[in-house]
């Protein structure tokens, strides 16, 4: 059962918690481009068999780049405001460096979830950076992606919350380099307790199922 496909009107404003907010459209194209290139760099570093001279030069270059970028850092907990077509009071917020779905996190896959009549749906294809068993996605990452999809279902359909309990059933191996479909929904709301569920599918077959209890943020 989907409780409500429309966002709740009143949402907690991160600014009330002392957290800065960046509009998604304010993230410079240059930063998005850098994030994408570093995402590819992580994969290249994880898999390279280049000669030691090339490795040493790359390390020096990256060290210099890191120092250059660290001259100006965001405040921890900076949030990004999404769905800017929604009215201000119905806006959806996410943490900008969220490890699963953060706009500016090059280590994030990233997973983007969209509303559907049934709940939320997203697609993601993972490379060897997310590898656990050979050729397969790490189980911890499967849990992380389900946690994000289930938390987002609560956040978008009801109200943002924190995961109090998460259960994952690994039904089939989840392959790398394969489009994965991730779906989630709200099953039941009981005061501040929101029961959510979701699945990951590869080639239409369920590889993992998750259920969780989200406790809504007060205020």
Residues that bind ligand 3IX (CB under 6 A): 12, 14, 17, 19, 93, 147-148, 151, 155, 160, 162-165, 191-193, 213, 215, 217
**Distance of closest approach, residue 63 Cβ to ligand 3IX, in angstroms:** 31
Find the shortest distance in angstroms from Cβ 212 to ligand 3IX: 8
Per-position b or e across 40-68, b if 16+ CB within 10 A of its CB? eeeeeeeeeeeeeeeeeeeeeeeeeeeee
- Nearest distance, CB of residue 102 and ligand 3IX, angstroms: 10
Our CB check for ligand 3IX shows the closer of 13 and 43 to be: 13
Instruction: Please say which residue, 62 or 164, places its beta carbon nearer to ligand 3IX.
Output: 164
Q: What minimum distance in Å lies between the beta carbon of 54 and ligand 3IX?
A: 38
Closest to 93 in 3D by CA, of 21, 16, 35: 21
For the chain, the first-to-last Cα distance in angstroms comes to 25
Nearest to ligand 3IX of 28, 191 (CB atom): 191
Residue 154: CB minimum distance to ligand 3IX, A: 8
- For residues 126, 131, 137, 139, the Cα torsion angle rounded to the nearest 10 degrees is -140
Residue pair 101/149 in contact (Cβ under 8 Å)? The answer is: no
- Give the tokens for residue 22: 């960046």
Distance between CA atoms of 137 and 131, rounded to whole angstroms?
5
77 versus 133: smaller Cβ distance to ligand 3IX = 77
Our CB check for ligand 3IX shows the closer of 50 and 164 to be: 164
């Amino acid at each position: 059962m989907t409780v409500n496909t429309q966002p709740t009107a009143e949402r907690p404003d991160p600014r009330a918690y002392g957290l800065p907010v960046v509009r998604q459209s304010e993230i410079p194209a240059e930063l998005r481009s850098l994030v994408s290139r570093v995402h590819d760099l992580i994969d290249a570093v994880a898999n390279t068999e280049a000669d030691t001279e090339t490795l040493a030069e790359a390390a020096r270059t990256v060290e210099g780049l890191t120092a250059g970028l660290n001259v100006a850092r965001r405040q921890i907990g900076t949030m990004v405001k999404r769905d800017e077509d929604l009215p201000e009071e119905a806006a959806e917020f996410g943490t900008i460096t969220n490890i699963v779905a953060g706009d500016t996190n090059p280590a994030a896959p990233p997973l983007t979830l969209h509303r559907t009549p049934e709940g939320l749906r997203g697609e993601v294809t993972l490379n060897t950076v997310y590898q656990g068993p050979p050729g397969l996605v790490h189980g911890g990452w499967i849990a992380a992606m389900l946690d994000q999809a289930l938390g987002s279902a609560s956040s978008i359909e009801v109200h943002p919350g924190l995961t109090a309990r998460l259960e994952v059933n690994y039904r089939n191996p989840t392959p790398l380099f394969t489009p994965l479909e991730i779906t989630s929904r709200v099953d039941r709301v009981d005061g501040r307790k929101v029961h959510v569920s979701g699945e990951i599918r590869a080639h239409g077959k369920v590889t993992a199922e998750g259920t969780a209890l989200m406790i809504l943020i007060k205020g």
